[in-house]
Structure 1
Amino acid sequence: MLEQLLEPILTPLFHQWPVLSDYAWQVAATVVVAAVWLLTVSFNWITARMIRHLSQKAPVWDELFLQSIRTPLRLLIWVIGLSLLLEIFSRNGLPVGTGVGSEVRRFGAILIVAWGLLRFITTAENFFTTPVKGRKQVDRTTADAVAKLLRLVVTILAGLTLLQSAGVSISGILAFGGIGGIAVGFAAKDLLANFFGGLMVYMDRPFRVGDWIRSPDKDIEGTVEYIGWRLTRIRTFDQRPLYVPNATFANIAVENPSRMRNRRIYEHIGVRYDDAAKVKPIVDDVRAMLQSHPEIDTRQTLIVHLNRFGPSSLDFMVYTFTKTTQWVKFHAIKEDVMLKIADIIFSHGAEFAFPTQTIHLAGQELPEPEALPGMAQEAADVIRSN
């Protein structure tokens, strides 16, 4: 192969300058280096023009593929050049083993092809998960799962190809995997449980990256940052990372507040018993206010009714839902609603109730105030006033 590649170049040189035949292998090595350099420059120029041309159109698979494999192909040119140099050195008495060049070329090509495919998978994943106006964004959790699976497949295939190129029997390895898999399964049962737990998360999709989740069974609450094959990383609200093994999600209930359609306002408001006659118009005005509020979802349940006779107040219930699910905006809406309820109560001349107690002493006449000295006088005044 080497002679066939170099013969069209070296034969005219030696014919024109016979003195160069005494330095045949040095000339051959120089020609190889020069050819590799020229090929690299040409490759860079051609691919740069192709990428520039493709970038003027809508991003498509061919542009992503070309951007991903450009660097690996450039490295492949140098690996082939290096293998040819090693063949030249081995044939001219230099301390390089016979066949090293072909081994470098074969193993280098396998590794570079695998590297190029892995780069393409990563580039495609970043492209489809990066938000761009006018383009539908792919679910990050799904894209991450598919990308990990493809990387695993490429890595396994590259490893098996390398072993086969090295003369290792692939059939023996696969047969051993069936027997050794049982022992490995017992030794790494927790690892496998986490793996299948992560697989179930990817398939069932109870949550995805960016969701706020919590569990009533475990002290878990925060925003999902990463879903791996073994564990899931959650950022708690105090900004601490929480690493949860995926097998945990197979045994606990998980709430996903990020998928709420509305947020609920649920309050009990008490007015004085002295304002009992004003409760009905207050309740009617509060209900009308909520029905006309732009941030209240009137399609959901809306309840404003006198609910109970409290120990020191007449309590009416406010039960409604906001249109937004954003935590900060919800509290701003709730504040506005509660202030408007307070204005309605005050506009009717009523007041909020607060805990009070009235003590009646049966069968006893309170003495006249002047007959009570000091503290007793004050206590009697308080009792009479109640």
Structure 2
Amino acid sequence: MIGEMVSHLNSWIKEFGLLSEAWRAGILVFVVVLSTAIVSFAVSRIILRLEKKFAKTSNLWDDAILHAARRPMVAFVWLQGVYWAAEVAHRFSEAEVFKANATMLQVGFILVVVWALFGLVKQVERTLVSPLKMRKPMDFTTVNAISKLLRAVIAITAILTALQTLGFSISGVLAFGGVGGIAIGFAAKDLLANFFGGFIIHLDRPFKVGDWIRSPDREIEGTVEQIGWRLTTIRTFDQRPLYVPNSTFTTIAVENPSRMHNRRIYETIGIRYADVRSMKKIVDDIRDMLENHDEIDTDQTLIVNFLTFNASSLDIMVYTFTKTTVWVRFHQVKEEILLRISDIIESYGAEVAFPTRTLHLPDGVRLASEERDQTRDSREPAEARKSSDNTKSGDAPSDGESESGEGE
């Protein structure tokens, strides 16, 4: 059809006899490219109007399809227009480059289809995990893994189809891939181990993006930011990115505190031995306080008991669980409970014990400080008596002084 149109238009221009063959080819190519630009603009505007119209409906998938198809459709129009322009040029030229027009059109069509499918998969992924669009959004980690797998399948299929279009035998490519895959497997065993480790993470789901995880076997602790096919990115609490190969998670134990139902308060509080008579009342009041606290989960284990006679204290064990699992809120609740326990202890005139030591000495053993005090005490009366004698002798005049006084 396009060939007939070009022939008629070329004949009509040729009848004027004013333009050379090169000029006629240029005009025809310009007309085809201009028509392509107009059609592509029209297609883009039509799809945009449809997107705005379908955005008002409750169906979410028509929006995803249109948004994923808009740019590939415009690209397809340009691909077809460039092909027609090349066909026009090929009628006026025998250049070798124009002989590959049909093949390039097929390869370009494959790329456009892959582009559209990639966009559709991405739009569906965003829709499934969005809490604004879905009443029960799916888990991001699972949807992301399925999305990556679908994109890999689409890419591999497109590559094999493009190779077949370019004249390569798919059976030969697959045979080469089977033999070469063995060599590549030995050379890239660590890469394959990480790939299968990522697959196991997506399959077993020990953690997901946003979870706080840690490992008692390795110095790994932080919030999961991304789960890739080779690496898992973890943001530590000092805001450093930590990149862990996925194969690591197949050989270590991983804790996931984000999935805790409660957080535990486990404290040992000691009071003085002098407050032993108030022990029973203190324990009962602490237990009642915890049982009536709004932030304590009474369905979990709750223990408040006199635990043991320690070296310098009478120990009370406090073992309970909070309702909240949020780290900051948990410490606020724990602070409030410890302050209330302190108030209960003080209300009975008791005190929280601290490490002390009492030293008992056998009879007859004295400290050096006591000996110094006794020596000082024994010296003070003797010095006082001597001072008193000197005072008396200075007040009474001698006989010689009296006589001399009388003589004067």
TM-score when normalising by structure 1: 0.90
> Per-residue deviation at 1:19?
2.1
Given that residues 264 and 320 in structure 1 are in contact (C-alpha distance below 8 angstroms), is that contact kept between their aligned partners in structure 2?
Answer: yes
Give 2:12's match in structure 1, choosing from 11, 14, 33: 14
1:126-156, CA deviations, whole angstroms, 9 ceiling, x for partnerless residues?
2322332762221111011001101101110
Q: CA deviation at 1:18?
A: 4.1
Q: Is the deviation greater in 88-97 or in 315-324?
A: 88-97
TM-aligned CA deviation for residue 368 of structure 1: 12
Change over 3 Å in CA distance of 1:331–1:368 after alignment to 2: closer
User: Post-superposition shift, 1:43?
Assistant: 0.7
For 2:333, the equivalent position in structure 1 comes to 333
Cα displacement (A) at 1:349: 1.1
Deviations 1:57-104 (Å, cap 9, x if unpaired)?
125222101101101110111111111111111221275633232233
1:79–1:105 contact (8 Å) kept in structure 2: yes
Would the aligned equivalents of 2:230 and 2:246 in 1 still touch at CA under 8 Å?
yes
Q: How many residues align?
A: 373
- Give the structure 2 partner of residue 127 of structure 1: 127
Contact 2:297 2:322 in 1 (8 A): yes
Letter in 2 for 1:217: D
* Gap change, CA 1:375 and 1:65, over 3 Å in 2: farther
Moved more, 281-290 or 50-59: 50-59
In structure 2, the residue matched to 1:144 is 144
The residue that corresponds to 2:253 in the other structure is: 253
1:215–1:254 contact (8 Å) kept in structure 2 = yes
Aligned positions of 1:1-386 closer than 5 A = 2-4=2-4, 6=6, 10=9, 14=12, 18-19=15-16, 24-93=24-93, 95=95, 97-132=97-132, 135-364=135-364, 366=366, 372-373=371-372
1:372 is matched by which residue type in structure 2? E
Cα deviations across residues 363-383 of structure 1 (Å, max 9, x unaligned)?
Answer: 3265898x7216999xxxxxx
For the residues of structure 2 that align with 1:24 and 1:226, how far apart are their CA atoms?
A: 58
In 1, the alpha carbon distance for the partners of 2:96 and 2:67 equals 36
Letter in 2 for 1:19: F
The CA RMSD measured in Å over matched residues stands at 2.4
Contact 1:14 1:20 in 2 (8 A): no
How many angstroms does 1:296 deviate by? 0.3
3-state SS in 2 of match to 1:361: coil
Q: For the residues of structure 1 that align with 2:256 and 2:326, how far apart are their CA atoms?
A: 14
Contact 2:264/2:320 (8 A) holds in 1 = yes
Contact 1:82 1:101 in 2 (8 A): no
Partner deviation per Cα, 1:187-217 (whole Å, 9 max, x = no partner):
1111111111110000000011111111111
| Counterpart contact for 1:141–1:208, Cα < 8 Å | yes
**Separation in 1, partners of 2:375, 2:107:** 103
2:229 and 2:371 map into 1 onto residues whose CA distance is 82
Extract unaligned runs of 5+ from structure 2. 377-408
The DSSP-based 3-state class of the residue aligned with 2:223 is: strand
Structure 1 residue matching 2:97: 3-state secondary structure: coil
1:223 is displaced (CA, Å) by 0.6
Tell me, what secondary structure is at the counterpart of 1:372?
Answer: helix
Q: 1:134 to 1:284 in 2, by over 3 A?
A: farther
CA contact (8 A) 1:296 1:320 kept: yes
Aligned letter for 2:9? L
Name the larger-Rg structure.
2
Q: Distance in 1 between matches of 2:368 and 2:80?
A: 117
Mean Cα deviation higher: 310-319 or 103-112: 103-112
1:287-309 per-residue CA deviation (whole Å, 9 max, x = no partner) reads 00000100000000000000011
| Larger displacement relative to structure 2 (17-26 or 230-239) | 17-26
Query: By how many angstroms is 1:226 displaced?
Result: 0.6
When residues 75 and 20 of structure 1 are mapped into structure 2, their CA distance, relative to the original with a 3 A threshold, is farther
**AA partner of residue 221 (structure 1):** E
Instruction: Report which stretch shifted further, 237-246 or 103-112.
Output: 103-112
Q: 1:376 to 1:192 in 2, by over 3 A?
A: farther
Runs of 4+ in 1 over 6 A off after TM superposition: none
Range with bigger deviation, 232-241 or 173-182: 173-182
| CA distance in 2: counterparts of 1:242 and 1:180, whole angstroms | 34
Contact persistence 1:217–1:253 (CA under 8 A): yes
Q: Name whichever of 320-329 and 357-366 sits farther off.
A: 357-366
Q: Residue 183 of structure 1: CA displacement? A: 1.3
Q: Distance in 1 between matches of 2:120 and 2:140?
A: 17
Distance, in Å, in 2 between the alignment partners of 1:364 and 1:98 is 121
Asked if structure 2 preserves the Cα contact closer than 8 Å seen for 1:345 and 1:351, the reply is yes
